[in-house]
A and B are shown apart, each in its own frame.
Chain A
Amino acid sequence: MVFNIRLPRIIGAMVVGAALSVVGATFQAIFKNPLVSPDILGVSSGAGFGAAVAILANAGTYVVQTLAFLFGLVSVLITYSVSKVYNSKGTLILVLSGMAVSSFFGSLISSTKFLADPNNKLPEITFWLMGSLSSINSRVLVPVLLVIIMGSFVLILLRWRLNILAMGDEESQALGLNIDRLRLIFILISTLITASAVSISGVIGWIGLIVPHMTRILTGPDNNILLPASISFGASFLLIMDNIARTTFLVEIPIGILTALIGAPLFLLLLRKGYSDWR
C-alpha cells in the first residue's frame, strides 16, 4: 500500500510540481515575459488531445500516458517548425504559433469530447483535462522521474545563461551566446520535462505560471537562485495541494481545480506584499 500507492503519489506530486515550476521559470526568462507558462508552445493541448484519443479508443492507462507524452512533443515540434519556416528572429512568432497550435489542438480535444459517450468516456476525458495524480503508480513513475530529474539537472547547470537571455537577443549575442542553439536546448529540455509531467498528471494549470512568480517575490529574479528555489517551492506547493485534494472531501477533487482555487488568492496576497519589490 505505502510503496505502491502512497509513496509514488507523494513523489509524483512533488516531481510534477517541481517540473512545471522549473519550466515556467525557464520559459519566462527565454521569452522575456513574466506572463508565460509551460504550455505557451502548445504542449498541454497536444498532450490533452493524445490522452483524449487514447481514452476514446478504450486504451489502458499506459497508452493514455504514452500518447499524451508523444502528442505533447508533437505539438511543440509543430510550433517550433512553423516559426522556423517563417524564418523569424526572436520569440514573437514562436509564441504566436504556439497559441495557434494550442487552439488547434484545443479544438481537436473538443471534437473528441463531442464524439465521446457522455456516460463514461466524456467524464473520463474531462477529469483527465482537470488533472489528477490518482493514476500514478511506481511503474509509470520511474521513467517520468528519470526524464524530469535529468532534464531539470541540465536546466540547473545552464541556469545562469537565462539571466543573459532575459536581456534580449542582441545583447545576449554581443555577450557571446549562440542564442538560437541555446534557446533550442532550453525549449527541447523544457518540453520533455513538461510532456512527461503532463502525461502522468493531466493538465494542471496555473502552477507553472504562478510558482516562479511567488518564488521571485522571495528570491529576486536572479535565475541562479530562482531556478532551484522554484523547484522546491513547486514540489511543496503541489504536494500540499494534492493532500488537500485527497483529504478534504469524501470524493477526491481534481487537483487542477484546487491549484487555481487556492493558488489565485494566495498569489494575489503575495502580489500585494511583494509587487513593488519585483517589478
Chain B
Amino acid sequence: MNCLEMHNGKGLYNKKIIFENVNFKISKGEIFTILGPNGIGKTTLLKSILSIKSLDGGEVLIGRKNLKTLSYKDISKAMAYVPQVHSFTFPFIVLDVVLMGRSPHINMIDTPQEKDIKIAENALKKMGIYHLRDKKYSYLSGGEVQLVFLARALAQESSILVLDEPTSHLDYGNQIRFLKTINELSENDLSIIMTSHYPDHCFISSDKVAIMQNKTLIDVGTSDEVVNSKNLKIAYDLDIDILELENKHKICYCEGA
C-alpha cells in the first residue's frame, strides 16, 4: 500500500527551479533516504512534501488524497516533521516541547490533558530520554535535542516522519544509535522520509534511496541498486568504490580521500 507519493513535483525558490519531475512512492513502514550534495534543494523538497512550502507543479498524495485539499491540521495528523535547524527563543522544558506534538489532536481553545501528557511521556520513554522530562530543552546537547524533536514527532501519532538531515549534528556513536532507532520505528509501521549526507547510512537503514542531482531525483530504488559508484560520481563528483565486507555489509570507500 502506498502511503505517500509525489507525481511530477516541481519547486521554485526565488523564481529559480530547485527541482522538477520528481516522482517517488513510499509504502507503509518504509524508510526513504534522499542523498545529495549540499545546497541541492533537499530541504526545499522535504518542505514541499510537508506542504510547508507549496508545490509549484505536480502533486503529493497521502493515501488517495491530494495534499492541497487537506488542512494543515489534517496534514499534521498524517506527517510529523523534525527540522534540521531550530532557533531557541524560550527555554521550554522537554515535556512541554514534546506536548506540542499533540497540537493536531487538541481543540483550538483547549490545552493538553492528562491523556496527552501520558502520550508525551511514552514518546520520551520510547526515545530513552524520559530522564530529561523536566530539563530545559535549550540546555541539552545536539543529540538530545534531536531525540526530543523525534519524541515530539512520535507524540503527533502520524504515520509518516519527515526528518531533515537528522544525523548531521550527531557524533558517530549517536548517528548509529539514531539510525537504529529509525529502524525500530519503521518496524512499527512508521514510514520515514529523511535526507542524509552519508551514503554509508543507506546501508544501515534504508529501504529506498534516491539521489538528488541536476534538479531532480536521478535514481530511485533500493540501497543496493542506487548507492553505486556511478550515481555517487554524479552526486559528489568523486570516484567512490562500494566494498562488501565478509558479513555482506557494504561500505563506501574513496581512494586517496
Contact = CB atoms under 8 A, between A and B. Distances in A.
Contacts of A173: 50-52, 72, 76
B81 A171 contact: yes
Interface string A158-180: 11110110111011011111100
Contacts of A159: 111
Query: Which interface class (under 10, 10 to 19, 20 to 34, 35 or more) fits B?
Result: 35 or more
Interface stretch (A75-83, A110-118, A216-224, A243-251): A216-224
B89 to A, nearest CB: 5
A32 interface: yes
A171 B92 CA distance: 15
A119 interface: no
Interface string A108-149: 000000000000000000000000000000000000000000
A92 to B, nearest CB: 13
Contacts of A32: 87, 89
B79 A167 contact: no
Contacts of A33: 89
A279 interface: yes
Interface in A23-80: 29, 32-34
Contact of A175 (B93, B103, B110, B112): B103
Contacts of A170: 47, 52, 81, 83
A224 B100 contact: no
Interface residues of A, number: 29
B77 interface: yes
Contacts, number: 82
B109 A176 contact: no
A160 B111 contact: yes
Most chain B Cβ neighbours within 10 Å, of A157, A175, A221: A175
B86 interface: yes
A175 B76 contact: yes
A221 B96 CA distance: 10
Nearest to A156: B109
A160 B106 contact: yes
Nearest to B104: A176
B91 A176 contact: no
B101 interface: yes
B125 interface: no
Contacts of A175: 76, 100-101, 103-104, 156
B80 interface: yes
B91 A221 contact: yes
Nearest to B101: A175
Most chain B Cβ neighbours within 10 Å, of A29, A168, A176: A176
Contacts of A164: 100, 103
A27 to B, nearest CB: 12
24 contacts: A32-B87, A32-B89, A158-B109, A161-B108, A164-B103, A168-B87, A170-B52, A170-B83, A171-B81, A173-B52, A174-B50, A174-B76, A175-B103, A176-B75, A176-B76, A176-B104, A177-B72, A177-B103, A220-B92, A220-B93, A221-B91, A222-B92, A222-B96, A278-B91
Interface of B: 47, 50-52, 71-73, 75-77, 79-81, 83, 86-87, 89-93, 96-97, 100-101, 103-104, 106, 108-112, 156, 162
Interface of A: 29, 32-34, 157-161, 163-164, 166-168, 170-171, 173-178, 216, 220-222, 224, 278-279
